[in-house]
Amino acid sequence: MRMHAMTNGPRWLNLLLPAGMLLLSACTTSSGPEDTTGTPADSYFALAVTDNSHNHAGARILLLDFMDQAPAAGAGPGNVVISPRINNAAISIDGDSTDWDSANLTTIKGLVQNNYPLSQFIDAVATEITVGSAWDADYIYFLVQWEDAGHSRSTQYRKWIYGDQGGGESGWTAKVHSGAGTGTPNESAANVGHVLAGSEDEDRVYLMFPITDSGNAFAADGLGCAAFCHANLSSDNPFQNYTGSDVAVMHTNVDGDKADVWQWKSSRTAPAGFADDMLLTYAQGSDNGLMPDAGAAAYRNNALEGGNPRFMHASGLAYSGDALPQAQAADFRGSPAAGDQIPSVITQAPGGSRADIAASASYDPASGRWTVEFRRLRDTGHADDRQFLPGRDAQPLTVPVITAPDTAAGSTLYGNLCEGCHKENGIGSLSGNSWQYPRIQRTSGSLILKAIQTVPAMGGIRLTHQDAEDIAAFLQGQSTFSATYRLSTVVSGIAAPPPGTVTSSRPGITCPDTCDYNFLPGSAITLKANDVSGYVFSGWSGASCSEGTQTGATCSFTLDSEQNITASYTPTTVSYTLTVTTGANGRVSSTPAGIACAPSSICTATFSEGATVTLSASPDSGYRLDAWGDDCSGSAGCTVKMAGDRNVSATFAQNLGAATPCVVSGQPPTIPDISLEEVVSGLSNPVHVTNAGDGSNRLFIVEQRGTVRIVQNDTQNGTTLQAGYFLDIRDRVRNAGEMGLLSIAFHPDFTSNGRFFVNYVSDSSEPNPQCTTSNRCTIVSEFTLGATAALEDSERIILEIAQPYGNHNGGQLAFGPEPTPYLYIGMGDGGGAGDPDGNGQDLTTLLGAMLRIDIDNKDSGLEYAIPADNPTWSGVSGARREIWASGLRNPWRFSFDPVTGDLYAADVGQSAREEIDIVKGGLNYGWNEVEGDICYTPGCDLNAYAPPIIAPPRSEGWYSITGGMVYRGSAIPDLCGVYLYGDYVKGFLRGLRYDGANGTSALKAFTPSVNNLSSFGYDENYEVYALNRGGRLYKIISP
């Protein structure tokens, strides 16, 4: 290959182009300590490509020959692929093969089995696959090129099509495969006009690298990939049909054997610029052993919900593309028309070990030829990957190079060696109801060799690899083999039928485990539909069991053709009673309808078994729901699953009168000392405390892991931590370091609209990642009580902000004092020491700033509106008008004085100063030019930026300031108007009075301290609480 002098590139390149499908495998042993710098050990491998997931071609075993430099003669024999060392990053993963040296590429000749495995007929024609490999200090590279059998770029993976596709379809159904195309090689196939039954699919490439191969399928004379990874050929059923779906399942055949499998998929992984990283493990029978590596996939299903795909392209139903990127996906809307198309998968950036393999491809429509490139670290450090390291070389292959199969020779061999295997109709020799000889028509040479080994009666037959390929070529050209008739059964009406729902009198059918079986022509069959709890058998359908010819749970017939039989079940009608007891001053209703309970009453309704019933409480004016009881708890939503009789109670309590914040009259008193009262313990990393302003005086505690707890602050019964969670979104929250669920803010009209907002960090490693434009992001979301059965399902993402690092996320949300409820969002600079990206002084990013948005309205293209009086930042091209103030490093906690409306923000410093700012619209607070009241960037102009009201230095013991609240309660009169704050590391508690201008009139160091001081918050009486991240909530009281 060409040798370019290039610098080392980044470890990941997100490149996207579609491709086809391939399979490789390798197996070596090594001893001594691992050497990651030398030439990797030679190893065996195999490859396969598929077109539209129906046609299959490849090489079952090859030798991957690593070398320090390519030989002058280039590539060697067709069963060896050379992998020379290249300069770092000399090959770009861009779907372009011009940076590969063609002299070092190997061409493999094989057969394309057109329409395999769904077609009854196999059209076998010759094709060629070009393979190349290379390696450098960090990476291994592969190139695969082949001519598509149908001369078509297949990138539609079961795409949803609306309406009739020619077969009477209605609604949304998977796109029907249109049949074979034209052009070499497919045009020379025996059954070129055959139309494939099944869904449209994608072109794919598989690469498989065995990690452990105790059966020596990949050895000098091994049988290769088919014997290694298909259907327990030696132990499952030695007389099975070794063709089609009977062996389509993939798993290794020896417990402990495993392989690293790379899957490039033109519809599902190509848009993300990756190949799927999988692990092939041991399984039995029809169980699947092909499992994904750890981490997020490059795609997820876009399933039907309520008759329509869950998501569509944001541009609407006119979109006809084959890919639906996560960033462009929107909830389904509109009325579909015939021919409308929506992709069945949503593509996204993969994560973890599943994102190891970068891949890119291109397709040439003129030649119908695919080019696919792969790149992966030689040593990923992952246990589920094959590593390409120095060690003991694999031995040269003794398997001959198969340049082309000879169908004439195969016909002669078949006639001489398989006399009795397929006489006349292919019935073969039988012993009882079992095959004495395996059915090996329409299969590969390796499966023929393996099949013969499993039958003692054929033990004397000796075939070479060439003999087996010749026989396979002959058999693949035959169009009629009907040695048996397939009986297919289906259980209808039961989502997950138990084992043995339908059985046959002759061994074979035990549906749902085995629903299809081959029986001899003329076999007398009796099918039985067995009892299933919760269902009643309702009848048979199918030619041999059509309605009117069979009665009861059995169906008897003589099998004289292929048969499809359906056993239908209907659920038994079971109902359970829901009893609701309401206290005074409130009502309860249900969805679905049935419960309509007045105050101080008992109501009942019956619902079908398994029904989900959501109860809604409607308190009288001046009252609130105090708590659910019995089969519901807490004071959020109540949803019950009717798996039996259920009882729910609802009690209501009078709202507290709205408290009035205290105001200082005359000369402010001396700031008094304070004390702390522990009111709650046992919290998990609490980071924020606030109230809902709904008259309940409840406190809501945000736990970093992604949960919100409720503390009932009752003057009669004391302060208690309620069981369970008000909100649990751990599935989408990244809980690590400074990341997590960081705050909650209740809409000022929460009592009537049930809306509240949260700020959290998500990334691609979470089970339910929310980031669409980056791997890590801040999410600001809205949730609404009562909008969905599960509160967590009501999420509406308002704002997504990419986070370059895992720290300095800000995280505080608060509503301002304006009559229109504007939401303020504190955003850190994105992390990294010293703001390396300069976000604090960049008005084109939402990082390093205080944001202000209107969440009750929407501007075009946004989930919110920008207030008209927000700064315009005139003169700055691309400035974001969401920004209220700029130049902040990490405003972890900020709050509004409920009397003056002043916005106090405590901004965590870098290395010399902490600071407290009074944040005002349109001002720049200096970071990263200024830190507190000194220059961070040498030579800065301090007068160009808004100064802090206080900037305590590190020399006084400050490390990480935690912003607090202005005390406006009534319990400590002399504390009125004092802003309370502290230090997370040292636990300091401090107080100051702001003079209303640019400074302070008084400072106070309080006696008590709170270790790991994470936050402050108000109750509804403006009393102040402090949180210890170790799990304790304290109330600030008078000594």
> Who contacts 860 (Cβ-Cβ below 8 Å, separation ≥6)?
none
Q: Which residue has the tokens 């292929």?
A: 562
Residue 8 or residue 446, greater confidence: 446
d(CA 301, CA 688): 36
Q: Give 79's pLDDT tier (boundaries 50, 70, 90).
A: confident
Least confident of 46-60, 216-230, 816-830: 46-60
Phi-psi region of 994 (alpha: psi -120 to 50; beta: other; left: phi over 0): beta
Q: Give 417's pLDDT tier (boundaries 50, 70, 90).
A: low
Q: Which pTM value belongs to this model?
A: 0.48
Q: To 5 degrees, how large is the angle CA 386–CA 387–CA 393? A: 100
Q: Give 987's pLDDT tier (boundaries 50, 70, 90).
A: very high
Average pLDDT taken over every residue of the chain: 82
Task: CATH number for 675-1037: choose from 2.60.40.10, 1.20.120.530, 2.120.10.30, 3.40.50.920.
Answer: 2.120.10.30
pLDDT of residue 110: 57
Q: Give 117's pLDDT tier (boundaries 50, 70, 90).
A: very low
Q: Indicate the DSSP class of residue 31.
A: -
d(CA 246, CA 755): 54
pLDDT of residue 23: 30
pLDDT of residue 598: 94
CATH code that applies to domain 575-654 = 2.60.40
d(CA 700, CA 843): 34
Q: Give 169's pLDDT tier (boundaries 50, 70, 90).
A: confident
What CA dihedral angle connects 118, 119, 120 and 123, to 10 degrees? -130
Q: What is the 3-state secondary structure (H, E, C) of 87-99?
A: CCCCCCCCCCHHH
Model confidence pLDDT, tens digit, residues 97-112: 999 998 889 887 654 4
* Most confident segment among 164-173, 311-320, 399-408, 997-1006: 311-320
pLDDT surpasses 60 at 45: yes
Of 350, 354, 357, 314, which Cα lies nearest the Cα of 771? 350
Cβ 642 vs Cβ 675: under 8 Å:
no
What are the CA-CA distances from residue 408 to residues 473, 475, 564, 674 (Å)? 9, 11, 37, 100
pLDDT of residue 215: 80
Mean pLDDT confidence for 945-964: 95
Tokens in use for 141? 């590279």
Model confidence pLDDT, tens digit, residues 596-619: 999 999 999 999 888 899 898 888
What CA dihedral angle connects 14, 16, 18 and 21, to 10 degrees? -10
**Helix or strand run (H / E) with residue 471:** helix 465-476
Of 628, 624, 623, 618, which Cα lies nearest the Cα of 649? 628
Domain ranges in the chain are: 43-377, 407-476, 485-571, 575-654, 675-1037
Amino acid at 997: A
d(CA 773, CA 800): 8
pLDDT of residue 855: 97
